[in-house]
Amino acid sequence: MASIYSLLTDVKSGTFFDHFIAENNEKYPAELMNIVGRLKRIGNEDSALTVYFKLDEGLDWDDLVCALYDTPDKHLRLYCIRLSKSIIVIGSGGSKNVRAWQDDVKLSREVNEMMHYSRIIRTRLKNGDLRISTDGLRFEGDLLLTK
Amino acid sequence: MKSFDEVGENYSSDLIKDLLNKITPEEQEQIDYKMQIAKMLYMALKAKGWRNIDLAEKMKLKSPSLVSKWLSGTHNFTIETLVQLQRLLDIRLLNIMPDANSTTLNVKLIVDANRAPLTKDDLNHLQQVIDDAGGLQPTIVTVTQ
C-alpha cells in the first residue's frame, strides 16, 4: 500500500493532479485512465516500487522527482515526488513529444515546480514541521507548505 | 469559496472520482496483471542478485532498456517472453500447465475395517481414475488398524 498526495495552491482550481486531468482528459482519455489505474494499484495493492517510475527526472540529485509512465508507445508523463515506497506526491505533467523535458516549456514548468515543492517538503521533514507516521504511510504535522 | 484551512485534508475531487469510476473492472484487471508481473520480475531479479543488464544478457537482448520497460508494469508480454522469463528466473508467471511436482489429485479413500483388503481389481480401478485425471503415479499408502 502507499499514500498518494497532490499539491493544492488554489482551492478553486483544484490540485495539480486535477489540472493534469483537466488538461489531458479530452485528448488522451485512454492514457489518463491507464495512469489513474496504475495509481490505484500502487495505492491499494503494491507500493510505489522504483521500477514503476522513471527516476531522476529532476535536475538535483536528491530531489526525488520522477515520472509515471503510461503505456509504452504513448507519451503522457505525470511528474511526481517519490519520497518513499509508501508516499508519493503527484503533480501535473503533459504529453512529452520532445527528447528531453527541458525542450518543452510546459513540461519544464511542471518539473521545476515539482523540484521546488520537493525542496520545501524535504526541508520541512528535516526540521520536523512535517513528519512521516510510524507506519510510513502518512504525513503528519503542518501540511500547509507555504504561508 | 472555501479557504485552504477550511478544506484542509478533506479535499475531494470530482474529476478524480469520475475518472476512477470510468475504469471498468476489466481495464483495472489488465493493469493489475501487468503490474503484478512486473513486481514478480523485480522480486525475482532481487532474489537472484541480478541487475537489469544481467537479465538482458541472459535473454540475449540488444539493450537493458527493454528490461526496464518490462519492469515498468506497462508492457504487454508475449507467451514466448513469459516462458523464457519463467525458466531463467525460476518463477511461475503462467499457471495453466499441469505440473507433475505440484498437482494434487483429491482421492477420497474410505477405510472400512470390516471390508476385505483391496483387490487387484480395486487397484486397477483406482489407477484408471488417476489415469483419467492426468496420468499421475499413485502412491499406495498402507493403512493399519
Interface predicted TM-score (ipTM): 0.90
What gap in Å lies between CA B44 and CA B85, rounded to an integer? 10
Could you tell me if B59 lies within 8 Å of chain A, comparing CB atoms? no
In the DSSP assignment, the letter for residue A89 is E
Return the higher-pLDDT residue of A13 and B76: B76
What gap in Å lies between CA B120 and CA B63, rounded to an integer? 61
Provide the number of CB pairs (under 8 Å) joining chain A to chain B. 85
Residues (pLDDT < 50) of chain A are none
Q: Find, among A117, A81, A9, the residue nearest to B7 by Cα.
A: A9
Percent of chain B's residues with pLDDT above 70? 68
A18, A49, A72: residue with CB nearest B42: A49
8 Å CB contact of B35 and A70: no
Could you tell me if A141 lies within 8 Å of chain B, comparing CB atoms? no
Span B81-112, pLDDT tens digits: 999 999 999 999 998 777 655 555 566 666 66
8 Å CB contact of B42 and A51: yes
Nearest C-alpha of chain A: how many angstroms from B120? 53
What gap in Å lies between CA A62 and CA A146, rounded to an integer? 21
8 Å CB contact of B74 and A37: no
8 Å CB contact of B73 and A38: yes
What gap in Å lies between CA A35 and CA A92, rounded to an integer? 12
Average pLDDT across chain B, whole number: 81
Q: Which of residues 54-113 of A touch B (CB under 8 A)?
A: 54, 69-72
Could you tell me if B27 lies within 8 Å of chain A, comparing CB atoms? yes
- Residue A45 has a pLDDT of 87
- pTM given for the model: 0.80
Q: Find, among A15, A4, A3, the residue nearest to B4 by Cα.
A: A15
Span B113-128, pLDDT tens digits: 666 677 777 777 777 7
What gap in Å lies between CA A91 and CA A117, rounded to an integer? 10
